[in-house]
Amino acid sequence: MHADQVLRKRPAIPALATALCAVLLAQPVQAAEPVNPPRPAAADAVNASKPAEWRPLDPEHTLYMELPGGRVVIELAPAFAPAHAANIRALVREGYFDGLAVLRSHDNYVAQWGDPDEKNPRPLKTAKARLAGEFTMPMSNDKHFTPLPDRDGYAAQVGHSNGFPSARDPKTGRAWLAHCYGMVGVGRDVDSDSANGSSLYAVTGHAPRHLDRNITVVGRVVSGMPLLSSLPRGTGPLGFYEQPGQQVPIKAVRLAADVPEAERSKLEVMRTDSASFKAVAEAQRNRGGPWTKVPAGYIELCNVTIPVREQGK
Amino acid sequence: MHADQVLRKRPAIPALATALCAVLLAQPVQAAEPVNPPRPAAADAVNASKPAEWRPLDPEHTLYMELPGGRVVIELAPAFAPAHAANIRALVREGYFDGLAVLRSHDNYVAQWGDPDEKNPRPLKTAKARLAGEFTMPMSNDKHFTPLPDRDGYAAQVGHSNGFPSARDPKTGRAWLAHCYGMVGVGRDVDSDSANGSSLYAVTGHAPRHLDRNITVVGRVVSGMPLLSSLPRGTGPLGFYEQPGQQVPIKAVRLAADVPEAERSKLEVMRTDSASFKAVAEAQRNRGGPWTKVPAGYIELCNVTIPVREQGK
C-alpha cells in the first residue's frame, strides 16, 4: 500500500507505478514544490520481513464466522479477556451462534451479532450467563507490549500487545485493548457483569475510543472485515435492522481447531514486537516518495496497519 | 445517541430506555462499582439548542449526488478550497458527473468516483483542467474557527470551521480541513497541481489524517454516507472495482440551487461556534449516565458529531 498510489485520479497499476517511481526517483527533480525523499513504504517493510517475524493464528483462539458472503476470521485475545474468551469458546463449541444473525449495522460505528429472538432467547448450555467485566487488566499481565512513541489523547501510553492495539496507564497500573477498526467487543447492559459473550460487535467506523475501559474487548477481525463493514446499514434506532429479513444469517461459528485442517484459513500475523513491524509503523508515520508532500511525522494508534497474510506468502 | 444505549446486548427501545434511566437515576445506587453521574447527552444538547444555533446549507455550495440507492448531500467548503469548489460547481453545471460512476470502494479508507473511461475520458468544457493544490490556507482566511481544547497528534491545534473539522499550525500560520469520516477530497496524481475536481472521494473508514496537507479537501458529506460507506468493496488493487458492472452509476450530480425547491433536501447544520455545539462535544467527551463507567475525559477531533437535521425538526 503505497501512499503515492492511494488517491490518484485513476486506478494505479502497481507494476506500472513501481516502474514509474523508479524513473521518477532516478531523475533529478526540478519541481519547485518541496521534495519528499524516498523512504521504504509499508509494503517494502512487509516484503523485507523474516519468517520469524510472523506467527500463525492459534487454532484454539481463532473463530470462523461463516456468513452468506464468506468467512470472517476473528483472533481472540485471551490475555486481555480470559473469562470472556473461554466463555465464547464454550458458546462456539455448543453451536450457540449457528443460525443466529447479524442484527445491527450502525454506520461509522459497529456491526453487532447475536440472538434475534428476544422473546424466546436461545438457552445457554455450559457457558456462563454472566461474567465480570474484563475492561482492563493489570499491566503486569501484558507480556508483549511494544509502545508506540506517538502520543495519544485517550491514554497515557499506546502500542501493541501481541497483535492487538492496546493502551495503558502507568498511574493506575492498568492495560486494555483499544477500540480500533476491526476490534471485537462484547455487548453488555448497564451492569458491568451483564455480559457473557453471546452478543458481539466489530468496529466498522472511526475508532470509538470512548468505549475503551467501558466494555470487554475480546479480539480482532484479522480477515473478512468487508463482510461486516459493507453490510447495508440498519434503518432502525442505533442501526438495528427493522425487519427480520434484513438480518444477515450466521451459518456457523466454529473454532479453527474444530475445523478440518484442509478447510482452515492459513493466516499469519506480523509480530508486533518485531523490527519489521516497527518499520511498517515508521513507513506510515513518515511516508516517502513523490506523492506525499508533507509526511505526518506521527501515526495515531488505530492507523497503524497490523499486517496479516496467508502463511508462506 | 445515548452512550448507555449503544452497545446493549439487545436493541434498546429509546422510550423504554428513557423510562428505565429515569427509574435508575431516581433510585439510590447501591452498586459497588464506580457510579458515573448523570450528565446531558449529545441528544439533550441538540434538543435544547435554539433555532439561531443552526444554519441552512447554502444551495450554491451544496451538491446532490444521485445514486441508485438515493441521494448523497455534500456541502462544499469554498473558504478552504475556493478554486476547487468553483471548478466543481462548473463541472456539475456542465453535467460532467452525470452518467459517471463510483469506481472504488476501499475498505476502511475511501469511496472514489469519477470517469470510468480511461481511454476516452469525458472532455471538460468551461472547467479548468489543472488547479494549484489548495492543501492549506492562511489561518487568517478562516473566520469561523472554534478550537477544541483536546490535543491532537497530527496538528498543533484542531477544532471546527463553520461545520468542518479543521486543524491549524500557528507556527506556519496555515489552516486546513481534516480527513475525518465523510470528508470529501480531490484525487490527484503526483504533481500538486494535477487535480481539477473531476475525481472525488469520501472518507469511509478510520480517519486517514496523514492525507491532511497533502491533498485538497473540498467538503463534507452531510447526508447519505451509508450510500457510499456500505458499497461492496472493490476486489482490485486499492479497492477499485475490477469489472465495469460492479461500478455504481451516478445518475446525476446537481447543485442544490439548480434543483426545484420542492425537490431539495431541507437540511440544516448546527453552527460549530455555538454554545450547543460546545455542549455536544462535551457530552461526547464526558459521557454521563449509568452505562458509562469511565468517561474518556477527551474527544478526538473526528469523533465529534456535527449535528445535521431536517430544517425545523
Question: Looking at this predicted complex, what is its ipTM?
Answer: 0.91
Measured between CB atoms, which of B7, B118, B153 is closest to A215? B7
For residues A159 and A146, give the distance between their C-alpha atoms in angstroms, rounded to a whole number.
Answer: 5
Residue A65's CB is within 10 A of a number of other CB atoms, namely 25
User: What are the cell numbers at A7?
Assistant: 488517491
Q: What is the pLDDT confidence band of residue A207, given thresholds at 50, 70 and 90?
A: very high
Query: SS3 of B52, please?
Result: helix
The answer to whether A206 contacts B205, with C-beta atoms less than 8 Å apart, is yes
B 212-271 → A contacts, CB under 8 A = 212-215, 225-226, 229-233, 236-238, 240
The pLDDT value recorded for residue B23 is 33
Measure the CA–CA gap between B156 and B169, rounded to whole angstroms.
5
Same domain, A242 and A288: no
Give Cα separations from A156 to A153, A278, B89, B148 (angstroms). 8, 20, 45, 19
Please give the Cα distance from A127 to A132 (Å, whole number): 14
Looking at the complex, report in whole angstroms how far the Cα of residue B261 sits from the nearest Cα belonging to chain A.
26
Please classify residue B59 by burial: count the beta carbons closer than 10 Å to its beta carbon, then call 0-12 exposed, 13-18 middle and 19+ buried: middle
Same domain, B48 and B96: no
Distances (CA, A) of A220 to A72, A138, A297, B190, B228: 10, 20, 27, 35, 24
pLDDT score recorded for residue B36: 85
Q: Which of chain B's residues have a Cβ under 8 Å away from the Cβ of A5?
A: 237-238
Q: Coil, helix or strand for B310?
A: strand
A151 by Cβ neighbours in 10 Å (0-12 / 13-18 / 19+) ranks as: middle
Give the domain CATH number at A148: 2.40.100.10
- Claim to verify: residue A182 and residue A255 sit in the same structural domain: yes
Of A107, A135, A188, the CB nearest to B229: A107
Maximum Cα interatomic distance, chain B, rounded to a whole number of Å? 72
Q: Taking a contact as any Cβ pair under 8 Å apart, which residues of chain A between 193 and 212 contact chain B?
A: 194-195, 198-199, 201, 205-212
**Mean pLDDT within A41-62:** 97
Question: Which residues does residue B138 pair with via DSSP β-bridges, in sequence order?
Answer: B174
Co-location of B232 and B295 in the same domain: no
User: How many CB atoms lie under 10 A from the CB of residue B245?
Assistant: 6
Q: φ and ψ at B285, to 5 degrees?
A: -75, -40
Please name which of A90, A92, A109 lies closest in space to residue A100, comparing C-alpha atoms.
Answer: A92
Domain extent at residue A139: 58-264
| ∠ Cα B266 B226 B104 (to 5°) | 120
Provide mean pLDDT across the span A82-97. 98
**Is residue A304 in a domain?**
no
Rounded to a whole number of angstroms, the distance between the first and last alpha carbons of chain A is 16
Residue A59 grid cell: 487454532
User: CA-CA distance, A146 to A167, in Å (whole number)?
Assistant: 10
Distance CA B201, CA B102 (A): 9
Cβ atoms of A185 and A201 within 8 Å: the answer is: yes
The answer as to whether A312 is a domain residue is no
Residues of chain A with pLDDT > 70, as a percent, come to: 89
B180, three cell numbers: 475525518
Exposed, middle or buried by CB within 10 Å (0-12, 13-18, 19+), for B19? exposed
Q: Which of A1, A4, A5, A6 to mutate to test the interface with B (most CBs of B within 10 A)?
A: A6
Residues A41 and A189 in one domain: no
Looking at chain A, list the stretches that DSSP marks H as alpha helix, in order from N- to C-terminal side. 14-26, 42-47, 82-93, 225-229, 275-285
Residue A313 belongs to a domain: no
Based on the structure, what is the number of domains in chain B?
A: 2
CA nearest neighbour of A209 among A303, A104, A140: A303
d(CA A274, CA A265) in angstroms, rounded, equals 23
> Is the confidence at residue A26, as pLDDT, over 50?
no
Q: Can you tell me the mean pLDDT for A240-266?
A: 97
Question: What distance in Å separates the CA atoms of residue A79 and residue A284, rounded to the nearest whole number?
Answer: 28
| CA–CA distance, A230 with B308 (Å, rounded to integer) | 23
Tell me the nearest-neighbour CA distance from A165 into chain B, angstroms: 14
Bridge pairing between strands A308-310 and B217-223: unpaired
Q: Please judge whether A300 and B237 are an interchain contact, meaning their C-beta atoms are less than 8 angstroms apart.
A: no
Looking at the structure, tell me whether residues A8 and A45 fall in a common domain: yes
Round to whole Å and give the CA distance between A116 and A61: 25
Same domain? For A64 and A97 the reply is yes
Report the alpha-carbon distance of residue A87 to residue A132 in Å, rounded.
Answer: 12
Q: Which residues of chain B have pLDDT under 50?
A: 1-6, 11-31
User: Is residue A80 domain-shared with residue A27, that is, in the same domain?
Assistant: no
Residues A278 and A249 in one domain: no
Q: In what order do the strands lie in the sheet with B145-147?
A: B137-138, B174-177, B164-169, B157-161, B145-147
Task: Confirm if A168 and A174 have CB atoms less than 8 A apart.
Answer: yes
Residue A260 has pLDDT above 90, yes or no: yes
User: CA A195 to CA A84: how far, in whole Å?
Assistant: 9
Q: Residue A217: exposed, middle, or buried by beta-carbon count in 10 A (0-12, 13-18, 19+)?
A: buried
End-to-end CA distance of chain B: 16
Say yes or no: B139 and B47 in one domain.
no
Same-domain pairing of A24 and A102: no
**What pLDDT is recorded for position A24?**
33
Distance (Å) of CA B262 to CA B58, B254, B265: 16, 14, 8
Q: Which residues contact A53 (CB under 8 A, 6 or more apart)?
A: A270, A271, A274, A275, A276, A277
Q: Which residues is A165 bridged to in the sheet? A: A160
Q: Mean pLDDT across chain A, nearest whole number?
A: 91
Within 8 A of B284 by CB-CB distance, chain A residues are: 210
**Strand residues in chain B grouped as ranges (E):** 54-56, 62-67, 70-76, 101-106, 110-114, 137-138, 145-147, 157-161, 164-169, 174-177, 183-186, 200-203, 217-223, 248-249, 252-255, 267-270, 308-310
What is the distance between the alpha carbons of residues B167 and B148, in angstroms, rounded to a whole number? 10
The number of C-beta contacts closer than 8 angstroms across A and B is 214
A19-23, A101-105, A306-310, B143-147: least confident range: A19-23
C-alpha cell at A52: 520469524
Q: What is the reported pLDDT for A118?
A: 87
Grid cell at residue B156: 498543533
- Residue B22: burial class (beta carbons within 10 Å; 0-12, 13-18, 19+): exposed
Non-local CB neighbours of B226 within 8 Å, separated by 6+ positions? A107, A232, A233
Give the pLDDT confidence score for residue B85 in this predicted structure. 98
Same domain, A27 and A159: no
Q: Is the pLDDT of residue A23 over 50?
A: no
